[in-house]
């Protein structure tokens, strides 16, 4: 049996056809949940039918309810004002709720999700983590609805900012390495980046020295290149550790240093094809469509520069080269999502226009998933000034807090390794859930003391619902009670039970919507809501009862909730725990 929402839509369309002899489009029938379960399990608003049938919504609802009560087999229908509400037969409601939540069959569409893309001059901070969790979740959502997803990372491993840490290390490093200091590589290098900023305030000539080093790097100076390779390796090793800790995975990694040279060739190709224009100064620009981008203050056309007058490459040059490389690597690519901060919205608009002009197959399906900043109560995070919440420190701190609590709670029942494992999974859940539960467009003020909570709308709260369900299932098994779908008709007398089912049924609808609008926060909210509903049900209704049929059915419901929570949390890169 398919999801009952589809059955409701089908029955309503059939009823409209039968009663008014005029068909109605599938998308005109929406199924929603009534404000209160006592009104019904699901509701169909009749407003959209009014214009089609030239009748008042309430009249249509009345006619529909009368007809559906006779002809629909899913439940009992009732018109309330402009709504038709249905109270489903228990076996229909719960059979639908117990259908496992599974990924859709392949769509044949290939989509790239590019996210995180760090600079190799400093460690990752909580802003990067927000980018990472959004990227991972968006990729997982696309995969869940059947797309072939490529998770891509661009490592920004060249540029003057990289040279700054290199220069600082040369001057003040004294030959120290991550190995000799016992420091994580990215932190080690990041300290020199901060050091450079401090010294540059006192000695302005340092900025020139960094530029000079960049020139040497571009000329292929052996010594500079060797230093660059060594320090980048340190940073990357550090990043890899952080990625593993947070669960960030990439199917393809691009290095800026590898693509940036090819950028100039692509630019020449663009000039030859007339897409790009070489100006008198020698700079190459992309003229922007005035109807989309407007004009400059002086009335002249806007443009984006792809190559400086002196022939050197820009950020945009690399983006173009990267786009060409992606097209070469994935000839069947249909769409591309870029998870990048909101400050780059204009840049991506111009790039997307350029990609279309260059004729990349996926260019018409580009989406800049722009997310707002993570700020601190004291203001913006600034790496150069060291005012950041470091990704590694954050996870370590929260993990330690959770571990201390677990030790108190479980004492001797758990060994240290198990405590550490659980603490990591819970701390990770708390951080990730906090960052993903807010709409990406909303800027977050991150206060370590209050943001990473364990109660309320949090990852651990949702995890706990899973753990509770699994615990009851274990306890039931010990008593010889096993989940079974044989007596589903025995469920539904308790309203809380119906709400649980209702939420389970709506879950795939929410996931599909979240995937289509690239918004993982919708999934986080659905997960929380299901957990909350289950907690409430759990407290109000005994699952293990004296009646074996009722117990078996309730266990089946609990199992479905647990599995649904596990699946949905996995979309957010969050793990569950059998015990916590």
Partner RNA sequence: GUCCUUGUAGCUCAGUGGAUAGAGCGUUUGGUUGCGGUCCAAAAGGUCGUAGGUUCAACUCCUACCAAGGACACCA
Query: Residue count at the site for RNA (CB under 7 A)?
Result: 94
CB of 149 or CB of 505, closer to RNA: 505
Using CA atoms, how far apart are residues 205 and 203, in angstroms rounded to an integer?
5
* Three-class SS state of 398: helix
Minimum gap (Å) between residue 106 Cβ and RNA: 26
Binding to RNA by residue 32, rule CB under 7 A?
A: yes
Minimum gap (Å) between residue 148 Cβ and RNA: 28
Binding to RNA by residue 118, rule CB under 7 A?
A: no
How far from 321 is each of 115, 152, 255, 267, CA to CA, in Å?
17, 15, 11, 8
Binding to RNA by residue 460, rule CB under 7 A?
A: yes
CB of 97 or CB of 472, closer to RNA: 472
* Contact of 156 with 120, CB cutoff 8 Å: yes
How far from 249 is each of 41, 109, 119, 150, 453, CA to CA, in Å?
40, 20, 17, 10, 26
Q: Residue 333 corresponds to which tokens in the numbers above?
A: 């690519």
Binding to RNA by residue 28, rule CB under 7 A?
A: no
Using CA atoms, how far apart are residues 104 and 141, in angstroms rounded to an integer?
10
Binding to RNA by residue 215, rule CB under 7 A?
A: no
For the chain, first and last CA: distance in Å?
Answer: 35
Binding to RNA by residue 65, rule CB under 7 A?
A: no
Tell which positions 76-95 bind RNA, by CB under 7 A.
80-83, 85
- Which DSSP state fits 301? B
Minimum gap (Å) between residue 258 Cβ and RNA: 15
Mask of contacts with RNA, 312-331, x by CB under 7 A?
Answer: --xxx---------------
Minimum gap (Å) between residue 176 Cβ and RNA: 27
Tell which positions 480-519 bind RNA, by CB under 7 A.
none
From candidates 47, 179, 211, 547, binder to RNA by CB under 7 A: 47
Minimum gap (Å) between residue 156 Cβ and RNA: 5
Binding to RNA by residue 281, rule CB under 7 A?
A: yes
Minimum gap (Å) between residue 576 Cβ and RNA: 11
Tell which positions 385-444 bind RNA, by CB under 7 A.
402, 405-406, 409-410, 426, 437-439, 441-444
Minimum gap (Å) between residue 330 Cβ and RNA: 24
From candidates 467, 502, 503, 567, binder to RNA by CB under 7 A: 467
Q: Are strands 110-114 and 148-155 parallel, antiparallel or unpaired?
A: parallel
Point out which span in 230-238, 267-275, 306-314, 564-572 binds RNA (CB under 7 A).
306-314
Point out which span in 182-190, 202-210, 301-309, 385-393 binds RNA (CB under 7 A).
301-309
Binding to RNA by residue 53, rule CB under 7 A?
A: no
From candidates 205, 455, 480, 546, binder to RNA by CB under 7 A: 455
Binding to RNA by residue 190, rule CB under 7 A?
A: no
Binding to RNA by residue 156, rule CB under 7 A?
A: yes
Instruction: Report the DSSP beta bridge partners of residue 304.
Output: 286
Using CA atoms, how far apart are residues 538 and 553, in angstroms rounded to an integer?
14
CB of 237 or CB of 578, closer to RNA: 578
Cα 227 to chain center, whole Å?
36
Binding to RNA by residue 59, rule CB under 7 A?
A: no
* Contact of 89 with 42, CB cutoff 8 Å: no
Q: Residue 61 corresponds to which tokens in the numbers above?
A: 């609802």
Tell which positions 345-384 bind RNA, by CB under 7 A.
345-347, 372-373, 380
Q: Residue 515 corresponds to which tokens in the numbers above?
A: 């995937």
Q: For the chain, state the CA radius of gyration.
A: 29
Q: Residue 375 corresponds to which tokens in the numbers above?
A: 């700020």
Q: List own/partner pairs for 398-403 with CB under 8 A and 24 or more apart.
A: 398/427, 398/430, 398/431, 398/452, 399/423, 399/424, 399/427, 399/428, 401/427, 402/426, 402/427, 402/430, 402/454
CB of 32 or CB of 415, closer to RNA: 32
Using CA atoms, how far apart are residues 268 and 274, in angstroms rounded to an integer?
10
Minimum gap (Å) between residue 184 Cβ and RNA: 23
How far from 368 is each of 287, 350, 456, 518, CA to CA, in Å?
21, 11, 31, 10
């Amino acid at each position: 049996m398919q999801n009952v929402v589809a059955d409701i839509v089908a029955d309503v369309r059939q009823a409209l056809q039968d009663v008014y002899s005029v068909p109605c489009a599938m998308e005109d029938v929406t199924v929603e949940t009534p404000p209160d379960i006592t009104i019904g399990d699901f509701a169909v608003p009749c407003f959209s039918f009014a214009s089609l049938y030239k009748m008042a919504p309430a009249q249509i609802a009345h006619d529909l309810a009368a007809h559906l009560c006779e002809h629909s087999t899913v439940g009992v229908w009732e018109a309330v004002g402009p709504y038709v509400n249905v109270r489903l037969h228990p076996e229909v409601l719960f059979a639908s709720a117990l259908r496992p939540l599974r990924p859709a069959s392949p769509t044949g569409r290939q989509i790239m999700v590019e996210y995180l893309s760090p600079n190799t001059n400093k460690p990752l901070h909580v802003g990067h983590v927000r980018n990472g969790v959004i990227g991972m979740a968006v990729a997982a959502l696309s995969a869940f609805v059947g797309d072939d997803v490529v998770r891509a990372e661009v490592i920004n491993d060249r540029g003057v900012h990289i040279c700054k840490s290199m220069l600082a290390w040369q001057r003040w490093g004294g030959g120290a390495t991550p190995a000799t200091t016992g420091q994580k590589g990215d932190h080690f290098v990041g300290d020199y980046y901060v050091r450079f900023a401090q010294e540059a305030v006192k000695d302005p000539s340092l900025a020139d020295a960094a530029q000079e080093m960049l020139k040497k790097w571009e000329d292929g100076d052996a010594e500079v290149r060797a230093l660059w390779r060594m320090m980048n390796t340190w940073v990357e090793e550090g990043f890899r550790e952080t990625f593993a800790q947070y669960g960030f995975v990439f199917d393809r990694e691009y290095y800026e240093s590898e693509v940036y040279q090819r950028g100039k060739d692509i630019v020449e190709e663009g000039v030859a094809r007339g897409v790009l224009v070489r100006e008198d100064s020698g700079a190459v620009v992309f003229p922007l469509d005035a109807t989309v981008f407007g004009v400059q203050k002086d009335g002249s056309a806007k443009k984006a520069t792809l190559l400086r007058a002196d022939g050197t490459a820009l950020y945009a040059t690399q983006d173009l080269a990267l786009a060409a490389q992606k097209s070469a690597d994935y000839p069947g690519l249909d769409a591309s999502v870029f998870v990048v901060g909101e400050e780059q919205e204009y840049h991506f608009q111009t790039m997307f226009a350029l990609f279309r002009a260059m004729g990349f197959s996926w260019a018409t399906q580009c989406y800049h998933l722009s997310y707002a900043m993570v700020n601190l109560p004291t203001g913006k995070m600034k790496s150069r000034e060291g005012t950041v919440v470091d990704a590694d420190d954050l996870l370590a701190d929260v993990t330690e807090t959770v571990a201390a609590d677990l030790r108190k709670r479980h004492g001797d029942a758990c060994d240290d390794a198990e405590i550490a494992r659980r603490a990591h999974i819970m701390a990770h859940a708390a951080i990730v859930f906090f960052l993903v539960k807010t709409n990406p467009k909303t800027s977050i003020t991150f206060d370590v003391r209050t943001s990473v909570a364990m109660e309320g709308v949090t990852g651990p709260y949702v995890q706990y619902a899973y753990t509770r369900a699994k615990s009851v299932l274990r306890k039931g098994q010990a008593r010889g009670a096993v989940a079974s779908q044989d007596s589903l008709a025995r469920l539904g007398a308790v309203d809380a039970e119906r709400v649980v089912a209702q939420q389970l049924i709506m879950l795939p609808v929410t996931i599909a919507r979240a995937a289509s609008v690239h918004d993982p926060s919708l999934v986080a909210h659905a997960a929380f809501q299901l957990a909350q509903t289950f907690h409430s049900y759990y407290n109000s209704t005994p699952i293990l009862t004296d009646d074996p049929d009722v117990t078996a059915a309730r266990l089946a419901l609990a199992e479905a909730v647990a599995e649904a929570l596990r699946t949905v949390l996995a979309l957010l890169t969050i793990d569950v725990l059998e015990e916590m």
